[in-house]
Chain A
Amino acid sequence: MLDRLSRLDCLQNQRSAVFKAFASIVAIFALCAFAVAARAQGNYEIQVYGSDTVPPRTTMLELHSNFTANGQRYYIDGQAPTYHAQHETVEITQGINNWSEVGFYIFTSEQSGLGAQWVGDHIRPRVRVPESWRWPVGVSLSTEIGYQRALFSNDTWTWEIRPIIDKASGRWYWAINPAFERTWHGPDVDLGIGFSPAAKISYDFTKQISGGFEYYADYGSITNIASLHDQQQELFPVIDLNVSPKWEINFGVGIGPTAATDHWIVKGIIGRRFDWPKKNN
């Protein structure tokens, strides 16, 4: 019963209002896409998004912990190496209504020689198609804007738009995130729009344990796809633990086969949901 009630708030808004807002936001994003440029979270937040948004009056607090076991060992153009870097990212997502949320990121890095460093911050609004529309797949659209210090990314101001499509069918789940990136400030400004898709497929072994694969890539500019050697390709076998509706736990080990990719990354996500119910009926 309580489970149901906690979701009820997601259902009040009028379809027409949602559609208009959704369309407006898509239009704004489209305009931005042709105005500006690059790489977003890199290996600070390694996650394939599902179409779900955080419910209203709910806050999701996540910690992304990523350790690059085998990566870039040297400074390149003043950018710090990733080898044995421990990246901790705090993500705070607030549900707005039944079809939108806003996420905020604080990126940090800790590695030998640099110690613990603040890397940057991003903000990520997201809208979705409400489930009540009964689309055959889940669909949402996320955009992310943010800054990262030049020591960690030569492209300091970046923007990303990420369509999200997913579907759970029986024990199987899949999601695709064909993300496009643009650099606003940095050497990649002239590259235009980059293509960085991500995808996930998983299987529910039990109600609590799901396992599968996550795929992340960066193909470079959409007008000039990079050679395989220069592409980033990473495959993560992952485990998701669904131990409680209030907790989110994800763990994976990534293998990057191309030269441009960190070769081994261990990633983990732990999230806790906080509900802020109304005081009155």
Chain B
Amino acid sequence: MATQRGFALPPTPDYRIEIAEIEWELSSKKKIRTAAYSGQIPGRVLQLTEGKPVAIEIVNRLDRPEIVHWHGQWIPPNVDGAVEEGSPMIPAGSSTLIEFTPRPAGLHWYHTHAMANHDLKRGLYTGQAGVLYVAPRLNPGAYDPQQFDQEQFIVLQDWQPFYTASDDGSLMVDYTAASINGRMLGHSEPIRVRLGERVLLQVLNASATLPHWLVLPGHRFQVLALDGAAVPTQAAVDTLRIGLAERITALVTMNQPGVWVLGEAHKDYRDRGMGIVVEYSGQSGKPQESRSGTPRLEKLTWDYCAFGDAVPQSHTPDVTIPLIFTSRFRGHGALDQWMINGKSFPDGSPILLHQGQRHRLVFENRSVDDHPIHLHRHKFELVSVAGKRTSGVNKDVVMVEAGKTVEADLVANNPGDTLFHCHQQDHMDSGFMALFRYA
């Protein structure tokens, strides 16, 4: 069930989100002014229950229309939070009441889906993002509470964006500051742990344009879920790569006493602030950013297939849909124009889906950039990544690396217009979107 405003007797909201400009201290020396949810960065964690309807009031106190997208939720297009699907914008200075029934369970998020249109003070360049955690109703054992001793939500964000020339000759966005949970490294309370404790990390990359790599020196991450969906193989890795809008649920066993930095693998990003201190009980001293054994930058790798079925299963698709990503140069002083199958949104016709059928989506990235490809209101199952077969990895965002092809199966089971796009804000703004429409 999902409704927009217009009830004769609207229900009492379970949550209220106020969108407004705030001044936020990333550190004692760095303040920013940006739009945020309910006066904090990131927005408060919304804890919902799978299958239990929720009503959320959204108040827009900005001087421009806004819209909130419930990323990862299988909800109808009129409340999903994308105007391209038919969700209405929330006019400046007004409010709306959104009702939907959360599903699926897992780690998701809510964020603005307004176009920035090259304005670096809008869209995901602002602080409009927060964690949406949907607890499983019937099967709370998806992440067995017995498996962990404490749970930490980790939200990665980049701040103070500016345009700069990229090495490939096109304009790109870069940043001067970064944060975890709204604070720069060294300016938040540490995550306090005890030896032997198992800490469940719920990690979200809410950056507008940058993928990130997370490392906790000397520790390994046992990956339990990607984009909120449990993975068949809970592989342990030294480093997490989190593409834009991706979520990773990972368990860390605290077995290296000390004071550490859980932060970006790249020092330059840590220096900008992307890190948080992990402090073992009884330990003190300067937080350590690395130790022998920490993977070297040039050896950072990420393989989705490591989390798939040990023996990949095969499915025969009913339909194959090629989706070719290309760009068009528009000058060294302009952002590239992006195209899917040669068309920039809103040009081109919607891509048709057939209810109940298995669609093999073939993401062919012919550009020189990596792209976090997101499908609204559905999940897709990875079939192959750069030629390597897999199965059982269900996601709503996948990083398609430059020059590579990723295949994914989509079973069309949630009728209604569905937006498909690169989650990188400047790419979205430059046409990297398409609409899927049920035939």
Contact = CB atoms under 8 A, between A and B. Distances in A.
A11 B272 contact: yes
A280 interface: yes
Contacts of B176: 11, 132
The SS class assigned to the B binding surface is loop
B384 interface: no
Contacts of A5: 266, 268, 297
B330 interface: yes
B260 to A, nearest CB: 13
B211 interface: yes
Interface in A1-19: 1, 3-12
A118 interface: no
Interface in A226-254: 242, 245
B271 interface: yes
A278 B268 CA distance: 11
Contacts of B15: none
A281 B167 contact: no
A281 B266 CA distance: 6
A167 B329 CA distance: 18
A59 B175 CA distance: 24
B334 interface: yes
Nearest to B120: A134
Contacts of A245: 167-169
B174 A170 contact: no
Contacts of B268: 5, 8-9, 11-12
Given A1-B211, A11-B272, A245-B169, A170 B297 contact: no
B246 interface: no
A204 B331 contact: yes
Interface stretch (B31-39, B288-296, B303-311, B345-353): B288-296
Contact of A170 (B165, B168, B334): B334
B172 A4 contact: yes
A169 interface: yes
Given A1-B370, A11-B176, A12-B271, A6 B167 contact: yes
B276 interface: no
A170 B333 CA distance: 4
B160 interface: yes
B166 interface: yes
Contacts of A134: 120, 162
Interface residues of A, number: 33
Nearest to B401: A1
B16 interface: no
A204 B368 CA distance: 19
A207 interface: yes
A168 B162 contact: no
A17 to B, nearest CB: 12
A52 B331 contact: no
Interface in B271-296: 271-272, 289-290, 294, 296
Nearest to A273: B167
A202 to B, nearest CB: 9
A207 B329 contact: yes
B167 A7 contact: yes
Contacts of A204: 329, 331-332
Contacts of B402: 1
A208 B296 CA distance: 33
B290 A280 contact: yes
B330 A170 contact: yes
Interface string B333-344: 110000000000
A206 interface: yes
Nearest to A206: B329
Contact of B290 (A7, A171, A281): A281
Contacts of B169: 207-208, 242, 245
Nearest to B370: A1
B64 interface: no
Interface string A114-130: 00000000000000000
A10 B271 CA distance: 11
B266 A8 contact: yes
A116 B171 CA distance: 43
A173 interface: yes
B269 interface: yes
Contacts of A8: 174, 266, 268-269
Given A12-B268, A170-B333, A131 B162 contact: yes
Contacts of B167: 3, 6-7, 245
A281 B297 contact: yes
Given A11-B268, A12-B268, A281-B296, A168 B331 contact: yes
B158 to A, nearest CB: 11
Nearest to B166: A3
A172 interface: yes
B333 A7 contact: no
Given A11-B268, A281-B290, 6 more contacts: A5-B297, A170-B331, A171-B334, A207-B332, A281-B265, A281-B266
28 contacts: A3-B166, A3-B172, A4-B174, A4-B210, A5-B266, A5-B268, A5-B297, A7-B164, A7-B167, A8-B174, A8-B266, A11-B272, A131-B164, A132-B160, A132-B162, A133-B162, A134-B120, A168-B171, A170-B330, A173-B332, A206-B329, A208-B169, A242-B169, A280-B290, A281-B265, A281-B267, A281-B289, A281-B297
